[in-house]
Amino acid sequence: MEYYISETNWSTILTFLTAQKGLHTKDVVKLRRFIEAVFFILKTGAQWKYLHKDYGNSRAIHKRYKYWADKGVWNNLMTYVSDIDSQQFMIDSLSVKAHACASGYEINGNEINALGRSVGGLTTKIHTLTDALGNPVRFIITAGNVHDIVPSQQLLEGITNAYILADKAYFSEENIKFLEENKNKPVIPARENYTKGHNVDWHIYKERHLIENFFSKIKHFRRVFSRFDKTCSAFLGFIALASTFIWLR
């Protein structure tokens, strides 16, 4: 069968996976087929049931993917390949449309499963933290109608001694105070109706385009560009895996 993941990238992924416990990674050939199958779904946005039989049983592959997502394996893989430039960080959000098949999971309800009704239907918002080079660090997903500033402090938890770049949607006196208390330097323009003095280093602010570049890259992964997954963990798994391949470029 044809492999889409380069040998260099596969070697890095394999090194991480074989060090994990409880993932059944001894059969390297079957493991590669599984990862290739998940990558195919991630890249094309196809339904699991349309996986070619060369990859194996589609239902078993889907079940294994979800198990790994629930265990945080995909997020840990992204962390493993990361090489973060912590001089500055950027935060922003990306709204994605949710397909009809993403709804209908009623155990926890749409709010907990990060689905919100906006203009045009159900949407999910991917709140993102990137490093100084625009590479992904962490994510929080919420319903699409949640304001950007709501999860921002959670997204920045543990970040200290860095420039924090964000657009004016993230500006509030509370947010600025939070950043400064953690020894960060906020580079966030004030809202138009803010009458108190507020200085911004516009030279540094220009670099905020790097997080927009990241969003452009991740949109090429169709399973992230549109949400098809009912659960947060499954969707976050695809976001983390797409980010892994962006790091590996």
pLDDT for the residue numbered 161: 98
| CA count, 13 A, side-chain hemisphere, 47 | 5
pLDDT for the residue numbered 227: 95
Give me the torsion for CA of 97, 33, 249, 230, rounded to 10°.
Answer: 20
Nearest CA-CA partner of 101 in 117, 122, 70, 74: 122
Q: Please give the average per-residue pLDDT across 215-224, as a whole number.
A: 98
Per-residue pLDDT tens digits for 63-91: 999 999 999 999 999 999 999 999 999 99
| Angle separating helix axes 28-44 and 232-247, nearest 10 degrees | 100
- Look at residue 106 and tell me whether its pLDDT is greater than 60: no
DSSP 33-91: HHHHHHHHHHHH---GGGS-GGG--HHHHHHHHHHHHHHTHHHHHHHHH----TTEEEE
> Looking at per-residue confidence, does 102 or 169 come out higher?
169
- Look at residue 203 and tell me whether its pLDDT is greater than 60: yes
Total-model pTM: 0.94
Q: Please give the average per-residue pLDDT across 51-57, as a whole number.
A: 96
pLDDT for the residue numbered 120: 74
Q: Please give the average per-residue pLDDT across 226-245, as a whole number.
A: 96
pLDDT for the residue numbered 107: 55
- Look at residue 2 and tell me whether its pLDDT is greater than 90: no
Going by pLDDT thresholds of 50, 70 and 90, the confidence category of residue 175 is very high
Q: Please give the average per-residue pLDDT across 117-138, as a whole number.
A: 93
Per-residue pLDDT tens digits for 136-160: 999 999 999 999 999 999 999 999 9
Domains and CATH numbers, the chain: 7-71 (no CATH), 88-247 (3.30.420.10)
Residue 126 CB neighbours (<10 A): 22
pLDDT for the residue numbered 192: 82
pLDDT for the residue numbered 57: 98
- Distance from C-alpha of 187 to C-alpha of 208, rounded to nearest angstrom: 10
% pLDDT > 90, the chain: 84
- Look at residue 214 and tell me whether its pLDDT is greater than 90: yes
Contact between 122 and 96 under an 8 Å Cβ cutoff? The reply is no
Q: Please give the average per-residue pLDDT across 167-183, as a whole number.
A: 95
> Looking at per-residue confidence, does 119 or 164 come out higher?
164
- Which two tokens mark 54? 């060369």
DSSP assignment letter at 215? H
pLDDT for the residue numbered 111: 52
